[in-house]
Amino acid sequence: MSIRSFAACLATVLVTACASTPPPPVAELAPTGKLRAAINFGNPILALRNADGSPRGVSVDLSNELGKRLGVPVELVTFESAGKSVDAVINAQVDIGFVAIDPVRGAGMYQTAPYVVIEGAYLVRNSSPLTRNEDVDRAGVRIAVGNASAYDLYLTREIRNAKLVKASTSPLVTDLFLAQNLEVAAGVKQQLEADAKRVGGVRLLPGRFMVINQAMGLPKGRDKAAAYVERFIEEMKASGFVAQALARHGIEGAAVAPPGR
């Protein structure tokens, strides 16, 4: 093949490749000219505070990378609880959020395949007679849980005999559990492990009571944006970006989700 023929074939391949890869739907993903990302401080797997109070974490890194690809500035809109973060996505007050996959939430927003898998755990006092996750759902047991969190939604569906007591945010669950002398606290395993070291006299029940698939969420009606973000999340997992972000921020107890749909 001559150099001219090779160049012509290469040009054809490049044109075909470009044609098969649609440009980012900036107008849908960033209708205000910037990418507004909801960052939830209620889940330490997703976001933590720097010394100056600014957010860091895998959700921040994903937001910044997406904004870079869209060619728009990123506005990090912070929330103290998952419920408020979810409401912001559903009401299109932000353009993306980072949420636990749940059918209730899925009714009001688009959710990608998961990028991170985390565990939900129970915390009890050292003197508690409870020794297994299966022991928790019984009459007389009160479970502290973050209002509108993934654990709240799940336990509301699954618990039959125990009673849920709502804390305003997930990070306040252990303090509510202690203040009201409740029997169990439920939440992110990593958060509860940190709380156990902080307060003492408590222990986690072995294993987990639920697996939480964390996804990116978007307001409904943004179909092109949803398709683009779905591909983006899969690339971030496959390339090692998510795993590197978790390691960079010192996050343990979370795993990169397997390839999605």
Domain locations in the chain?
Answer: 24-116+214-256, 118-210
Pairing mode, if any, of strands 163-167 and 142-146? Answer: parallel
What is the rounded average pLDDT for all residues in the chain?
A: 90
- pLDDT at residue 20 tops 80: no
Alpha helix stretches (DSSP H) within the chain: 3-20, 26-29, 58-70, 82-90, 103-106, 150-158, 173-179, 189-199, 223-238, 241-248
Please give the pLDDT value at position 7: 46
Question: What superfamily would CATH give domain 24-116+214-256?
Answer: Periplasmic binding protein-like II (3.40.190.10)
User: Distance between CA atoms of 216 and 196, rounded to whole angstroms?
Assistant: 30
**Residue 22, pLDDT score:** 66
Q: Are 95 and 37 in contact (CB under 8 A)?
A: yes
pLDDT band at 1 (very low <50, low <70, confident <90, very high): very low
Q: Which token pair is 117?
A: 């898998």
**Res. 21: pLDDT tops 80:** no
CATH 3.40.190.10 assigned to 118-210: yes
Phi, psi (rounded to 5 degrees) for 130: -75, 130
Mean pLDDT, range 205-227, rounded to an integer: 94
Q: CA-CA distances (angstroms) from residue 92 to 97, 98, 232?
A: 10, 14, 20
Residue with the bigger pLDDT between 138 and 45: it is 138
What integer pLDDT is reported at residue 45 of this predicted model?
86
- The pLDDT of residue 104 is 82
Dihedral in degrees, nearest 10, Cα atoms 196, 248, 56, 25? -130
Tally of helices (H runs) and strands (E runs) in the chain: 10, 13
pLDDT in tens, 84-135: 999 999 999 999 999 989 888 888 999 999 999 988 999 999 999 999 999 9
pLDDT over 80 at 171, yes or no: yes
CB-based contact 113:215 (threshold 8 Å): yes
Under the phi-then-psi rule, with left for phi > 0, alpha for psi from -120 to 50, and beta for the rest, what region is 158? Answer: alpha
Q: Is the pTM of this model over 0.85?
A: no
Domains 24-116+214-256 and 118-210 share a fold: yes
